[in-house]
Structure 1
Amino acid sequence: ARVEDLKKAPSAQLNLVQCAGSMTYLAKQMEETFDIPFIKVSFFGVTDTSDSLMRIAYAVGDKDVIKRAKAFIEEEKNRVIPLLNKYKKNLEGKKAAIYVGGGFKAISLIRQFHEFGMNTVMVGTQTGSKDDYEVIQHLVDEDAVILDDANPAELEAFMKEMGADILVGGVKERPLAYKLGVAFCDHNHERKHPLAGYEGTLNFASEINLSMNSPVWEIIGGIKNV
């Protein structure tokens, strides 16, 4: 954003916080100083995208906006879900490991894997809060491993123990996954194609499917032979 654009920030009627770890403090300061309310949103996965759009519409408080949001969500779900179901048959029952920066993002990814019929067996964050971890604990199975600011040795040990089929993380975790013979998805905001929103959900499902079901993992033996 340009300086001139940033100067207009105090005139906003609502702040949307997507990266809770870095932006919640600023949103709270703007609420206290300029009386601008904020809501936390996530656009990863069909469920969270739909929920966030409706929460924004209700926060705006315009009946026409609410009506249009509902219509848009219904239209997109009718378009996207049948396409996701084609990937789901290849993904159901697979085990996912997550290691990302923020807890809010990890929560969305757990829900997204659930939409694919996958089980999150390991999840960790670098900046997650106590509240984030409480939500995570309720979303995963009792035997899932939950980590806070883990090191590579810990990630490796628990991925082996839990038999993860894919790791979703940042670029730093890619070598670790490949070392273990595990599929990897770089879930970074700097990606060239979107992983957020309804279209991004399709992109994510496609990438997970291609990465995890590549024949290369059978050729090299995968995590069980490491």
Structure 2
Amino acid sequence: MSSLRAKIQDVFNEPACEQNRGKDAKARKEGCSKPLTPGAAAGGCAFDGAKIVLQPITDVAHLIHAPLACEGNSWDNRGAASSGPTLWRTSFTTDLTELDVVMGQGERKLFKGIREINEAYGPPAIFVYPTCVTALIGDDIEAVCKRAAEKFGLPVVPVNAPGFVGSKNLGNKLAGEALLDHVIGTAEPDDAGPYDINILGEFNLSGEFWLVKPLLDRLGIRVRACIPGDARYLDIASAHRARAAMVVCSTALINLARKMEQRWDIPFFEGSFYGITDTSEALRQISQLLVKKGADPEILGRTEALIADEEAIAWKKLAAYRPRLEGKRVLLNTGGVKSWSVVHALMEIGIEIVGTSVKKSTVGDKERIKQILKDDNHMFEQMTPRELYAMLSEQKADIMLSGGRTQFIALKAKTPWLDINQERQHPYAGYDGMVELVRQIDLAIHNPIWRQVREPAPWDCQPAVREELPSTKSENATLHVVQEFAGTTADDFGEC
């Protein structure tokens, strides 16, 4: 536990984090996240955060050393996509019981689980995740993994991020530390070149990175490793031979980017593939970093030619949506890189931003929002469900873009809603992704169902009875009621 404590302290003092640099030494020791409110949803534990970062490595077996519920609560909680292996979709757990804990059988059961996975699947590596239970009872995960690696001749990587050590974001960073300690630099590629890059913090949700990779391919730029989206173990193991890196979500893997720059001289920048302007700028910065690292400067001209062609195509497609969406008001309830990149993307076609959440955004993210929106009046740190509902029910926004947790607030307020977080069904990255995002917003706002659900329900309208019903309870009374309402129209009912 002492090594884990030192690792956590190192992550808390992350010098590449602008928010940390602005704190004094005492404040840095308390970490990046705000203290959790008792009874409030924490947004995921450290184990959940580590699993999110590492599970999209598609050819690796992910073994959870814990009771069954830990794996059941975290499995497949991201819509990442794979172009090949499907092993990452298989759930592995040691399924500890009370008897295993009392009798001290945890380590023995873990070793047995590693052996069974190796024999049945033969993966290139196995990642082992302890959780709160196994960390508290003191199972020596690192020793078991080391012994299993020697016995079976394959990498067995301990991911020390039990849930109780902190938040989901801390787990993201601890996952990056595990890759640095046990994976990156363990394999030497035989095809390293001057146009190799790493993409960090890209999860390939709904396969959206596949909309960006063809652009890089056309420029002759090879993605040595995309961490973690659609990744392979050997790609990550040889990621130290890339010439440059782009960080898509700084709050998740900024420590990984900084330490790779320190160890292997891989410069990085933070960018976004959301929106036409930001995609173009990301391509430019990638090319510029490669030239600084020795690539032929002619790539800069080819990059500008590609950008000009792709922007012209995208703007032509978006022109059809501008008359239908210009002036529409959007409430953006997300965070991180999407808090500013999606804002910029939507404003490019004339959509008005009435508010954007900055709960999970860095200082740099907030500064970008201020530059885009020209003020900070539309930024909110946290908005309660009651406040969200009030804003939407008063029709201050035409649509809300958020994650699945707040969709029912929008539906209750009879307001269109679109998922832009990890459960989304459509890819929104790159030029084609921007067109798809606008298309989905257009479909949601102009769906005729919203006009229908906003109309008063029939049972809220009182009928205008034209004559008194019979007072006698005879068989003719039912017949009289049927005759009374036969052939009536909407005009026969009173106002709602």
> Would the TM-score normalized by the shorter structure come out above 0.5?
yes
Residue pairs, 1:55-134, within 5 angstroms: 55-61=285-291, 62-102=296-336, 104-134=337-367
Do 2:334 and 2:402's aligned partners in 1 also have CA atoms closer than 8 Å? yes
Q: Distance in 2 between matches of 1:161 and 1:21?
A: 34
Q: Distance in 2 between matches of 1:2 and 1:88?
A: 41
Do 1:31 and 1:38's aligned partners in 2 also have CA atoms closer than 8 Å? yes
What SS does the corresponding residue of 1:86 show, helix, strand or coil?
Answer: coil
What SS does the corresponding residue of 1:164 show, helix, strand or coil?
Answer: coil
Asked if 1:8 is matched to 2:238, the reply is yes
For 2:371, the equivalent position in structure 1 comes to: 138
Return 5+ residue gaps in structure 1 as ranges: none
Bigger drift between 41-50 and 138-147 goes to: 138-147
Residue pairs, 1:124-203, within 5 angstroms: 124-140=357-373, 142=375, 144-160=377-393, 163-189=396-422, 191-203=424-436
Q: Distance in 2 between matches of 1:77 and 1:22?
A: 30
Bigger drift between 198-207 and 63-72 goes to: 63-72
Bigger drift between 87-96 and 107-116 goes to: 107-116
Residues 155 and 31 of structure 1: is their aligned pair in 2 closer, same or farther, counting only changes over 3 Å? farther
Instruction: Describe the superposition over 1:137-160 as per-residue Cα deviations: whole angstroms up to 9, x where unpaired.
Output: 332265843112443233333445
Q: Distance in 2 between matches of 1:55 and 1:37?
A: 11
Measured after TM superposition, the shift of residue 65 of structure 1 is 1.4
Q: Distance in 2 between matches of 1:85 and 1:25?
A: 41
Question: Which one has a larger percent helix, Structure 1 or Structure 2?
Answer: 1
> Could you tell me which of 207, 211, 221 is aligned with 2:444?
211
Q: Distance in 2 between matches of 1:41 and 1:180?
A: 35
Asked if 1:23 is matched to 2:253, the reply is yes
Residues 154 and 30 of structure 1: is their aligned pair in 2 closer, same or farther, counting only changes over 3 Å? farther
Residues 193 and 145 of structure 1: is their aligned pair in 2 closer, same or farther, counting only changes over 3 Å? closer
Measured after TM superposition, the shift of residue 183 of structure 1 is 1.2
Q: Distance in 1 between matches of 2:325 and 2:246?
A: 32
Q: Distance in 1 between matches of 2:339 and 2:288?
A: 25
Give the letter for the 2:452 counterpart.
I
Do 1:50 and 1:73's aligned partners in 2 also have CA atoms closer than 8 Å? yes
Do 1:122 and 1:159's aligned partners in 2 also have CA atoms closer than 8 Å? no
What SS does the corresponding residue of 1:123 show, helix, strand or coil?
Answer: strand
What SS does the corresponding residue of 1:167 show, helix, strand or coil?
Answer: strand
Measured after TM superposition, the shift of residue 174 of structure 1 is 1.5
What SS does the corresponding residue of 2:354 show, helix, strand or coil?
Answer: strand
Do 1:90 and 1:209's aligned partners in 2 also have CA atoms closer than 8 Å? yes
Identity %: 32
For 1:49, the equivalent position in structure 2 comes to: 279
Q: Distance in 2 between matches of 1:163 and 1:191?
A: 24
Bigger relative CO (Cα 8 Å, ≥ 6 apart)? 1
- How many residues of Structure 1 are paired with residues of Structure 2 in the alignment? 221
What SS does the corresponding residue of 1:201 show, helix, strand or coil?
Answer: helix
Give the letter for the 1:53 counterpart.
L
Q: Distance in 2 between matches of 1:15 and 1:150?
A: 34
What SS does the corresponding residue of 1:78 show, helix, strand or coil?
Answer: helix
Normalised by the size of structure 1, how large is the TM-score?
Answer: 0.89
Instruction: Describe the superposition over 1:50-89 as per-residue Cα deviations: whole angstroms up to 9, x where unpaired.
Output: 1111111111113221111111111111111111010011
Return 5+ residue gaps in structure 2 as ranges: 1-230, 456-496
What SS does the corresponding residue of 1:202 show, helix, strand or coil?
Answer: helix
**Larger Rg computed on CA atoms:** 2
What SS does the corresponding residue of 2:405 show, helix, strand or coil?
Answer: helix
Measured after TM superposition, the shift of residue 113 of structure 1 is 1.2
For 1:221, the equivalent position in structure 2 comes to: 454
